[in-house]
Structure 1
Amino acid sequence: MKKRAAIILMFIAALACMLCGCQRQSDRVAYNISKEADNFNVTRRLEVINARTDKPVFELIGNFAISNNSTNELEVTVEVGQGVYKKHMVYLNEWTIYVVEDVSGAYVDKYHYEVNFLPEMIVPVTVTMND
């Protein structure tokens, strides 16, 4: 009985491990594109449109990161130069919609990953030998 329970548990554990690693290629690429855009590497266009009149009320083209907070506003951080950033707040109501268009496209590699070590976070270690 114990042997059967152990085999069933091992089977369930193996099945869980196999299912945890499942991710569609499109999900990985979409994540990478979003990350590139948030790192100011993709030129995009933000258009805020009055849905009542079909007229644009705001347009922004450039390399920017965008987030939508809970108070119906967009927080847009724009890179305007090397290490120079500006932040815009776009307030939305029930008659405005927004569209973000990827203008330049992004090259992303689904096999690429990056490991960064921050030198200031590494504690130096001195190794001494006592003979």
Structure 2
Amino acid sequence: MKKIIVVIAAMVIMATVFVGCQTESQKVSYNLSQEADNFNVIRQLTVINCIEGDVLFQMTGKMSITADAADNQLEVIVEDENGYYQKHFVGLSDNVTYVVEQLGIKNVSKYKYTLNYNPKMWIPVDVKTID
């Protein structure tokens, strides 16, 4: 029993040490990424042909962007003004690159965070009591 307590205490100490090792910029970067992935930030995605210098594609809005290295593409999920979502794929190649810009200022804290739950994912439960 004492060994289990010692192991648990060691794990808690290690977790605390690793959390404390983050720099301020890492915390802010994480929080900004979370805000964007929760569709709270307006971004602009620009896809550029590096050989010709032409803009191939541009999209602006509340979007979550994931670089899929295995398929060599960007997966872009966009929220429209009605709260509906669309998923787009942008293929990348040796001569195509992209830039993602955050438009406007988002005030995030290195200390605060928000938990977002999807209410559609909750399983409804009926509680019955005996009188």
* Same fold at TM > 0.5: yes
Identity of aligned residues (%): 38
| TM superposition score normalised by structure 2 | 0.74
Larger Rg: 1
1:19 pairs with 2:33:
no
Q: Is the 8 A contact 2:31 2:113 kept in 1?
A: no
Cα pair distance change 1:21/1:86, threshold 3 Å: closer
1:102 pairs with 2:102:
yes
What residue ranges of structure 1 are gaps of 5+ in the alignment?
1-8
Q: Is the 8 A contact 1:64 1:76 kept in 2?
A: yes
Match of 1:86 in 2: 86
Cα pair distance change 1:122/1:88, threshold 3 Å: closer
Residue type of the partner of 1:57? L
Count of aligned pairs: 121
What residue ranges of structure 2 are gaps of 5+ in the alignment?
1-5
| TM superposition score normalised by structure 1 | 0.74
After TM superposition, the structure 1 = structure 2 runs for residues 15-54 of structure 1, keeping only pairs within 5 Å, are 16=14, 19-22=17-20, 23-54=22-53
Q: CA deviation at 1:93?
A: 1.0
**C-alpha distance in structure 2 between counterparts of 1:114 and 1:101, whole Å:** 23
Match of 2:3 in 1: none
Residue type of the partner of 1:105? I
Match of 2:62 in 1: 63
RMSD: 2.9
Q: Deviations over 1:27-59 (max 9, x none)?
A: 111000000001111111100000101111000
Q: CA deviation at 1:16?
A: 4.2
Residue type of the partner of 1:104? G
